């Protein structure tokens, strides 16, 4: 289940780039609290504390935001953050007010559990959708939905309709949406596997035919050459006999 944590905030009077830079220089970042049809409140929070909170609980934690020393507390969720493009440090945060007694719609990550049959057969598991949209009470919100993918074969998929929602959770993502699928192995991988197993790789038919015709042509030329030699020999014999008959008449 989602975690419920506390975070200290301080009221913020000045707005704009100047006050924001001074806050960040002191280790704090500007933030705003809004939602539930109430006026937004400008606050500041400790940048390191918020960074550690997000790293520990993720961005879906229920935060009890304690503002100043007056005992004002807001139940919020971290709705959005801005980071420095160079250092990746947090520079601003948006907190959204929630009513713990009213359902909320949120995106929850989906995590695979197990190794699919299709992967053991050489396929590749593709994580098609990494989150699903759910509706539930804030404190019933799952931090993630774990899905057993061990039964997926090559060419098969697992859809939202195959998931079992946790108690008190309703899926809003359409039931026919695929979450995981196992793809067939690539052709190159199949060829490499065949060669590795020692099977003979057949040459292309066109190349083979070309070689055969060339060999047949070379073999056919030999009898022709022999026949020509034999015919020339016969003519030479007849010529010699003709000469001998001429001498006898003389």
Residue of higher predicted confidence among 228 and 22: 22
Total number of domains in the chain: 2
- The stretch 218-228 carries a mean pLDDT of 54
Distance between first and last Cα of the chain: 132
Residue of higher predicted confidence among 86 and 218: 86
- The stretch 128-150 carries a mean pLDDT of 94
- The stretch 5-25 carries a mean pLDDT of 85
- The stretch 151-179 carries a mean pLDDT of 96
Which residue, of 64, 97, 130, is where some domain finishes? 97
For every residue of the chain, DSSP letters joined together read ---EEEEEEEE----SHHHHHHHHHTTEEEEEEEETTEEEEEEEEEHHHHHHHHHHH-TT-EEEEEETTTTEEEEEEEEEEEE-TTT--EEEEEEEE--TTS-EEEEEEEEEES--HHHHTT-EEEE--SEEEEEE-GGG--S-EEEE-TTPPTT-EEEGGG--PPTT-EE-S-TT-EEEEEEPPPHHHHHHHHHHTTPPPPPPHHHHHHHHHHHHHHHHHHHHHHHHHHHHHHHHHHHHHHHHHHHHH-
Per-residue pLDDT band for 132 (boundaries 50, 70, 90) equals very high
Quick one: 53 and 84 in the same domain?
yes
Quick one: 110 and 81 in the same domain?
no
Which residue, of 152, 171, 196, is where some domain finishes? 196
Reference 76, options 122, 43, 119, 110; nearest CA is 43
Instruction: Dump pLDDT digits (tens) for 167-211.
Output: 999 999 999 999 999 999 876 555 455 445 555 544 445 444 454
Q: What pLDDT sits at residue 159?
A: 97
pTM assigned to the model: 0.66
Residue 144 maps to a domain:
yes
Q: What pLDDT sits at residue 207?
A: 46
Q: What is the CA radius of gyration of the chain?
A: 41
Specify whether the CB–CB gap between 88 and 47 falls below 8 A.
Answer: no
Domain extent at residue 114 = 104-196
Residue 110 maps to a domain:
yes
Q: What pLDDT sits at residue 204?
A: 47
Residue 209 maps to a domain:
no
Separation between Cα atoms, residue 158 and residue 35, nearest integer Å: 36
Per-residue pLDDT band for 22 (boundaries 50, 70, 90) equals confident
Per-residue pLDDT band for 232 (boundaries 50, 70, 90) equals low
- The stretch 155-159 carries a mean pLDDT of 96
Residue of higher predicted confidence among 231 and 190: 231
Q: What pLDDT sits at residue 234?
A: 60
Q: Which two three-digit tokens encode residue 52?
A: 């550690």
Quick one: 155 and 122 in the same domain?
yes
Residue of higher predicted confidence among 144 and 58: 144
Q: What pLDDT sits at residue 58?
A: 79
**CB neighbours of residue 67 within 10 Å:** 19
């Amino acid at each position: 289940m989602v975690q419920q944590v506390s975070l200290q905030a301080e009221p913020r009077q000045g707005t704009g780039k100047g006050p924001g830079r001074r806050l960040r220089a002191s280790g704090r970042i500007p933030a705003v609290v809004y939602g539930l049809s109430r006026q937004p409140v400008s606050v500041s929070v400790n940048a390191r504390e918020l960074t550690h909170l997000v790293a520990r609980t993720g961005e879906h934690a229920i935060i009890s935001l304690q503002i100043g020393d007056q005992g004002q507390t807001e139940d919020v969720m971290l709705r959005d953050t801005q980071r420095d493009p160079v250092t990746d440090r947090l520079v601003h945060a948006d907190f959204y007010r929630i009513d713990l007694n009213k359902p909320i719609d949120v995106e929850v990550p989906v995590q695979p559990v197990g190794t699919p049959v299709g992967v053991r057969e050489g396929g590749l598991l593709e994580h098609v959708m990494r989150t699903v949209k759910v509706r539930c009470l804030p404190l019933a919100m799952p931090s993630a939905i774990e899905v057993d993918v061990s039964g997926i074969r090559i060419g098969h998929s697992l859809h939202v309709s195959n998931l079992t929602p946790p108690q008190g959770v309703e899926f809003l993502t359409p039931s026919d949406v695929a979450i995981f699928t196992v793809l067939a192995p690539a052709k190159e991988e199949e060829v490499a596997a065949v060669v590795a197993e020692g099977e003979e790789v057949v040459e292309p038919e066109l190349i083979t035919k070309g070689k055969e015709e060339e060999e047949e042509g070379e073999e056919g030329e030999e009898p022709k050459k022999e026949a020509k030699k034999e015919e020339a020999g016969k003519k030479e014999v007849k010529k010699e006999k003709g000469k001998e008959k001429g001498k006898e008449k003389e």
